[in-house]
Structure 1
Amino acid sequence: MSQKKFANSHPHHHPHHHSCSFCLLNRIWRRKFLLLSIVLIFLIITITITNSRLNVFSSLFSPSYKFQYNQQQHQRQHLAASNKDNGDTFNNNNDDKMNLRNHQHLKADNYMSNSYNNDNDNIRRQSVVYIHPPGDEQQNKAYIPKNRFIHLDLKGAPPKVEYLQQLFPLLRQAGANGILLEYEDTFPYAGELLRHAVADNAYSLSEIEDIKRLAKENGLEIIPLVQTLGHLEFFLKLEHYRHLREMDEFPQAICPSRNDTYELLTNMIDQMLIAHPDSKWLHIGCDEVYQIGICDRCKHKERDELFLNHVKRIATYIKEKYNVTSIIWDDMLRQFSPDFVKSYDLDKIGVEIMIWTYVDDIYRFIPTQNWMFYAETFPKIWGASAFKGAFGETLTVPNIKMHLDNNIAWLKALDEQESSFKEIRGLVITGWQRYDHLATLCELLPSGLPSLVIDLLTATNGKYESKLLEKFHQLMNCPHQLDYTYNTMGARLFTQYPTFSHLINCDFPGSKVFRLMQEFENINKRVDDYLYDVTKHKAWLTDYNFRHNITSPWRIREGLQDYANVMYGLKSLVKMAITALGEIYDEYTVYEWIEEKLYPQLLRMEKFYNQTIKIQELRVWPRRPIKPAVDLQRFIDKINKEE
């Protein structure tokens, strides 16, 4: 065996030398082929593993995964919220208020909490992070609220009845079946008790009748809203009613312990329900009562006791005299003991709560324990979303995507909570006109109408689907070509045009005002950019130059080159505002908007021009070094003394 092996391995002893060489070559090639095969198999395995990892990685950013991730996060938040007490949840929400109008009440245990310092001025709207555009993947199940009411906030700027005549049919076509009508100072209260509180541009009783008739013709049920505890600035601001304030410093909340308070409020309720005899509900407000339990009559009582006694007294009066159900905003209840609220048996006198929040995660501000508490205490509830007036006190056009996200979230939440209640009455889509009576205007109703219509279509459909865009553009009366172009964009429309600026070519009720707001953004930016360029960016027409009369005449001529064009655009915008706003509002509202938005820019441009023309006349200039401004020394002396 060994000899044979030796013979086979040694060519000099093999009888077939050339054949053995061929065998050797074969063995070498077989080894090479085997090695190459192993390398190829290794490469294939490596590529397969890499691809699978890439697929997993890319799936993390897919819409479906984002939705699943959001759902998981949502469940975790629910669980976390369930493990916290009401007060802790409330206080943690403070971190997210940012600059949004939250309508969210904070727990207040002392004077400073009740007066809310200045930190909580914007607490009426909640902040939120938006991960994906609205789309069909967000909500597979449809939930259609039985009642789909639109909140019309009329405070201090009532639209003309002629505009409501155009608006109501559109609301009906989009799916609304009711209106929550917040008159405030625009209702024509009569009699010695209330006549001082009525605005000079309030509706007349005949106009109220016209509004009711228009609503009825369009199948829109009216729920009037009368604030009865907080947000009573419209009359508490006046000397005539000053004695009724809970705190003299703040004209927001009325003292609930005075008999003349009760007399005045019941008078308001009487006049409102006499004017609306067919209403089944009366919304009595009671939100954001920042001052309570402070005055000499109230300070020895608990805040929750004062609040609940007041609600019960007012609601009992309404039920016994008119057989009408009272609705209150829910936010004050969130900070009270559930057992204490239950002890008042508000449900036995028919009190219903309207739960509101304007974010895309409802449970973040209405956690699980609140829903459980409400289900045990109030058999019938309402939800409240927003179509405008929620994300900035001075906005002119709402962010449609953010509001749609909120409405989509509400449909999902109501669907999830429906089995816990005897009845979910419906969804009210709110549209605030001012953050409170003493604030300036935020988004006007016509500029918020596109947001309202897409939200309403979504609620009527039970969920958002891209196919709703076709009906939306039809209701907005858009040109056919525009209609087709933007319908095919689907979810991309919300990210590329968050305020739906493409609607400037559509012809819906108030579309001229919508175009005005879009043009305002352009002109306002142009004025800001121009003045920044000539007075900040460049070095010859700054405040320093004007104070010390030192500049280059050549540079003045350069700085004034664009002035005429910029000023012409601003003046044209004023004319546009007078025409567009005048079709919908009275002259008081028209001039308020112009004074708030355009007048400051007119003044800035005028001041700049006058200063420039004056300094342009100089032919000699001061020698350096230039003495500092006299007034500057005043500040320096004051600062040195403070040190």
Structure 2
Amino acid sequence: MADDHGDKPMEADTNILKPPQMGLKLVHLDLKGAPPKISYLTQIFPLLSHLGANGIILEYEDMFPYEGNLQVLRSPNAYSAADIRELINLARMLNFEIIPLVQTIGHMEFVLKHKTFSHLREVKYFPNSLNPHKKESMELVKSMIDQITAMHKDLKWLHIGSDEVYYLGEGEESKKLFETSQTNADSLFLSHVKAVASYVLTTHPDVKPILWDDMLRNISEEKLQESMLSQFVQPMIWDYNSNLDTHNMMLLIQKYQRTGFSHLWFASAFKGATGVAQSLTPISYHLANHLQWLKVAEALPRDSVQLHGIALTGWQRYDHFSVLCELLPVGIPSLAVCLQTLKNGMFSEKEENFVKNCLGFKAFKINFPSSEDAGNFPGSDIFNRVTQIITFQESADKLLEENMYIKGWFSNYHRKRKFVHPIMLRHFEGEVRSVHANWEAAVFELSTALEKIYDPDTVEEWREEHVNPTLTRLQHFVQDMDEALASGDFK
């Protein structure tokens, strides 16, 4: 949940936070959940550019049109090659830097869940991490890199993932190796990442590999120096907390400096980082995160560190198997706030008015916007209806669980036996029918809006998670009322 900053614009200390050189401002598109139709992405790319973005990170996962022995990785609704070419062409027209992201060791569920590749798991029963010992594992990674880079010409960077490599070192082959040598999980990770990065550099000399930094944080400086990893990759340091500790972040950056890393990236979050099943984006939380990153950027020693840019991540799932986080249109207002904050070094009344006008809001709230606040940006109908649905959900739950007359005269016991005191029913019947009618109308409008942007599977998933439980509950309650009234069995 968001920190309570109220609705007043949050300003950075202008004595410290002059607009720093943040480099590229990359919008991260996490396509492993609720991948938008290409037609929607072509609508929002110009908006992102207008808001201050100048690049995108495309985390395809199973949405890439893999060919040959990798075809099994494709989702049934994967983008076509023509779709991706259209996306790339639009990005180039807007002068966006394009950085594809391909997982190469961790978060490999979309690959290792398939029987064809299940033997490449580090731990037999967990499809999270790749077994770094098998030659076939590296061949798999190379094939994925080859197909993605073939689709993206003139790349400067390729993100090779490598975050949250759970269970690394817990496989049988790893355990046997540890018993007979000085190797440990850190060594396994470093060796694999170097091999992947080396392949990228060898086959594409002009492309620099980027990786998430979390697996490096607890590796000793001595081991990092010995690995010479800094000659192969550029770390992207991520922290999504509203209270990001700038002092500890600078200590981490200094550690990376001492081990040879002079080229760095940052990663913040504009959505998808405040709850695995979050449906509304707490804008003030993400604004606070970006204000902290500005402080870190300002404190960087420019003579010894080159900051290439910051990725504004927008996670759609915590992993391949988890539920959906906030849908992309729901996160657009937060993204707008965060981009303007990075561009101008603060978020004051000027930036707030720019966002409000750009997104077509009559009024704008930094905390959770209400359903009356909807603008007219691409996807604003989804933003409005999702906000409305969540509000209706709260009112429906409160009514059915807390209304004194329902609790006392139409409990589950009464409903099961279909009897009710007709006078008492008058105290809640009208309100229940009104809530039910409003809910039905909102669900229809939301479904219509979702179908414009998403495939049927995404619409179905969001409805089953956030709509159907309450809708079904209301439908059953109204049905029980009608049957009790029709029975005339008043006791």
TM norm structure 1: 0.70
1:541-556 to structure 2, matched below 5 A, reads 541-546=410-415, 552=421, 554-556=423-425
Residues 569-584 of structure 1 correspond to what in structure 2 (within 5 A)?
A: 569-584=438-453
Determine the structure 1 residue equivalent to 2:113.
237
Give the equivalent residue in structure 2 for 1:329.
Answer: 212
The structure that is helix-richer by fraction is 1
Distance change >3 Å, CA 571–CA 432, structure 1 → 2: same
Deviation, structure 1 residue 547: 5.4
2:193 to 311, 316, 338: 311
Aligned residue in 2 for 1:515: 384
> Aligned pair 1:284/2:160, yes or no?
yes
> Contact 1:418 / 1:424 at 8 angstroms: preserved in 2?
no
The superposition leaves residues 558-589 of structure 1 with CA deviations (integer Å, 9 ceiling, x where unpaired) of 54333322221111112111221122112221
Deviations 1:209-242 (A, max 9, x none): 0000010111111000001111111122233322
8 Å CA contact 1:375, 1:420 repeated in 2: no
Question: Is residue 217 from structure 1 mapped to residue 93 from structure 2 by the alignment?
Answer: yes
Aligned partner (choices 162, 170, 174) of residue 294 of structure 1? 170
Give yes or no for contact 1:145–1:425 (8 Å, CA) kept in 2: yes
Other-structure match for 1:372: 254
- Indicate which of 463, 468, 486 corresponds to 2:351: 468
Which one of the candidate residues 55, 73, 84 is aligned to 1:208? 84
Please provide the CA RMSD for this pair. 2.5
Does the Cα contact within 8 Å between 2:11 and 2:346 map onto a contact in 1?
no
Worse-superposed segment, 612-621 or 419-428: 612-621
Following TM superposition, by how much is the alpha carbon of 1:615 offset from its aligned partner in structure 2, in angstroms? 5.1
8 Å CA contact retained: 2:29, 2:314? yes
Deviation string 1:327-369 (CA, Å, 9 cap, x unpaired) is 11011111111210111111223x0000010124433694443
How far did residue 503 of structure 1 move? 7.3
Q: Residues of 2 paired with 1:240 and 1:451: CA distance?
A: 40
Structure 2 gaps of 5+ residues are 179-183
| Aligned AA (1:189) | Y
Aligned runs of 1:191-590 on 2, under 5 Å? Answer: 191-192=68-69, 194-299=70-175, 300-301=177-178, 302-323=184-205, 324-349=207-232, 351-363=233-245, 366-377=248-259, 378-419=261-302, 421-478=304-361, 482=362, 493-494=365-366, 498-501=367-370, 504-533=373-402, 538-546=407-415, 552=421, 554-556=423-425, 558-590=427-459
Residue in structure 2 matched with residue 489 of structure 1 by the alignment: none
Question: Which runs of 5 or more residues in structure 1 are unaligned?
Answer: 1-99, 101-126, 487-492, 622-643
Alignment partner, residue 135 of structure 1: 11
1:144 counterpart residue number: 21
1:604 alignment partner in structure 2: 473
Residues 544 and 397 from structure 1, CA distance in 2 versus in 1: closer, same or farther, beyond 3 angstroms?
same
Q: Which residue of 2 aligns with 1:84?
A: none
- Confirm or deny: 8 A CA contact 1:388 1:430 kept in the other structure: yes
Deviation at 1:133, TM superposition (A): 5.8
**Percent identical:** 38
Residue identity in the other structure for 1:583? K
> Does the CA contact (< 8 Å) of 1:398 and 1:443 recur in 2?
yes
Structure 1's 332 and 305: CA in aligned 2 closer, same or farther, altered over 3 A? same
Distance in 1 of aligned mates of 2:58 and 2:392: 34
Distance verdict in 2 for CA 1:365–1:594, change over 3 Å: farther
Q: Which has the larger radius of gyration?
A: 1
- Secondary structure, counterpart of 1:224 in structure 2: strand
Instruction: Flag the 1:168–1:620 CA change in 2: closer, same or farther, 3 A.
Output: closer
- The code of the aligned residue for 2:431 comes to D
Residues 502-529 of structure 1: CA deviation (Å, up to 9, x unaligned) = 8734211111111112211222122212
**Compared with structure 1, are the counterparts of its residues 140 and 320 closer, same or farther at alpha carbon in structure 2 (3 Å cutoff)?**
closer
CA distance in 1: counterparts of 2:410 and 2:450, whole angstroms: 36
Partners of 2:66 and 2:114 lie apart in 1 by 16
Matching residue of 1:179: 56
Contact kept, 8 Å, 1:383 with 1:427, in 2: the verdict is yes
Superposition TM-score, scaled by structure 2 size: 0.91
Q: Deviations over 1:308-336 (max 9, x none)?
A: 11100100011101122111101111111
Aligned partner of residue 200 in structure 1, secondary structure: coil
Do the aligned partners of 2:156 and 2:208 also contact (CA within 8 Å) in 1? yes
